[in-house]
Amino acid sequence: MGEMALAEATVTNEGSVLLGRNIVCDGYGSGRWIGVVSHFHADHTRLLSVALRFCKFVLSTPATRELLLLTKSETLPPCLDKLRSLHYTEGAKFGDERIMLLPAKHVLGAAQVLVETGKGDRLLYSGDFSVPGTLPPEVDFLVTEATYGLPSMLRNYGRDQVVSSLTHLIKCSLSRGPVLIVTYQGKLQEVMSILFEQGIDAPFLAPASVFDVAQVYRKYGVEVGDCFMLGTAEAKEVEKGPHVVFLTLRQKVPNNSTCIYVSGRYMAPFRQLDFNHYVIGLSSHADFNGLLWYIRKSKARLVMIDGARHDNASSFAHLVEKNLCVRCVTAPR
C-alpha cells in the first residue's frame, strides 16, 4: 500500500497537496480538475487564482468561501462561479473518488480534507490545525503540517494563561486610553471573541476590511462583541470613551496608544517591548506533542510531512518514525 499511496498523494515545490488522481488542495496541479481550499490564510491561497482558471471546481467550506470573497476579491479572476461550498461531513463524488471536508480547529471555516479513492484507500490532508479541537478520521495515508515539529516547540503554558494575561493587560490599559490590537485577519476576530467572552465591555472599532470579516464570524456563530466600523458616525461617538481598535499589520499604528501585537507563534504569554507596546503569543497550531497525537490518532500507515511550508519537515519525519514507529517521508524531497 505504501508505494501506491506515495503515487497517489504528494506535496509539490509550490505547496500544492495532490490527493488521488483528480484533487489538489491549497494550490494547483496540472490535470487536477477539483481544487480544495483548506482555509483562507495567505500561505494556503497563493495559487487560488490559477486553480480557479484551470480547475472545474474549487471547493471550500461555506465560511471559507465567504472569507475568500472578502479578502481576495481584488486578486481573483472573474470565474467565481467555480468557487463552490461543501459543508462539513457532506461527501461529494468526482469520478471514482469521494471527497469530504472535516472540521479543523484553526480559523473559521478551516477543514481537513479526506479523499477515498476508487480502490478504497483513505487519504487525508490535515491542513493547519490545533489540538484539542481537531479529531482526524482513521486513514491509510496522511499528509500533515509540521509548524511546530520539533521537541523544543512544546507549549509550556496553557491557553488560559495567555487569555488571562491578555485580558488583564487590556483592562489595565483601557484606563489610560484606547488599546490597539494588531495582527492578521482571522487572529483579529479570534481576539475579539476572546475579549467578549472575558467580559471586556469596551466597544470594538475596526476598519471596513476587518469589520466585514468579523460579520462573517458572527454569521457562523462566533460572537465578536459590539464592533463598529471606523469612520462611521457611531464609531466617532464611541471613540470619545474607552475602546479597543483592531488593525491588520499593514495598517498605520499610532505611536501614542497602547498597542498589543498578537503573534501566531508560541512564546511567553506576553512581552513588553517598550512603555506602551507589547507582544503576546496566541497560536492556533498544534505543538510537537499535539502533532504526534494527531498522527497516532489517524492510525495512518504512511505519513507525509508538508515540506514546502515547513523548514523542519525532515527532522519531524525522523522523529515521527522514532516515536510512533510509522513510516514517514517528506515532500517535496
What does the pLDDT look like over 186-220, one tens digit per residue? 999 999 999 999 999 899 999 999 999 999 999 99
On whether the CB atoms of residues 242 and 180 are closer than 8 A, the answer is no
Burial 265-300 (b: 16+ CB within 10 A, else e): ebeebbeeeeebbbbbbbbbbbbbebbbbbbeebeb
Q: How high is the mean pLDDT of the chain?
A: 90
For residue 290, pLDDT over 90 is answered with: yes
Work out the number of other CB atoms within 10 angstroms of the CB of residue 162.
Answer: 22
For residue 272, pLDDT over 80 is answered with: no
On whether the CB atoms of residues 145 and 295 are closer than 8 A, the answer is no
**With bands split at pLDDT 50, 70 and 90, how would you rate the model's confidence at 250?**
confident
Fold annotation for 159-281: Rossmann fold (3.40.50)
Of all helices (H) and strands (E), which one includes residue 321? helix 313-324
Of all helices (H) and strands (E), which one includes residue 5? helix 2-8
For the sheet with 17-19, list strands across it: 9-11, 17-19, 23-25, 34-36, 57-60, 83-85
Fold annotation for 2-152+285-331: Metallo-beta-lactamase; Chain A (3.60.15)
* Mean pLDDT calculated for residue range 288-298: 96
For the sheet with 122-125, list strands across it: 92-94, 97-103, 111-116, 122-125, 141-144, 302-306, 327-331
Ranges of each domain in the chain: 2-152+285-331, 159-281
Distance between CA 114 and CA 128 in Å, rounded?
A: 14
pTM score of the predicted model: 0.93
CA dihedral 241, 242, 243, 249 (to 10 degrees): 110
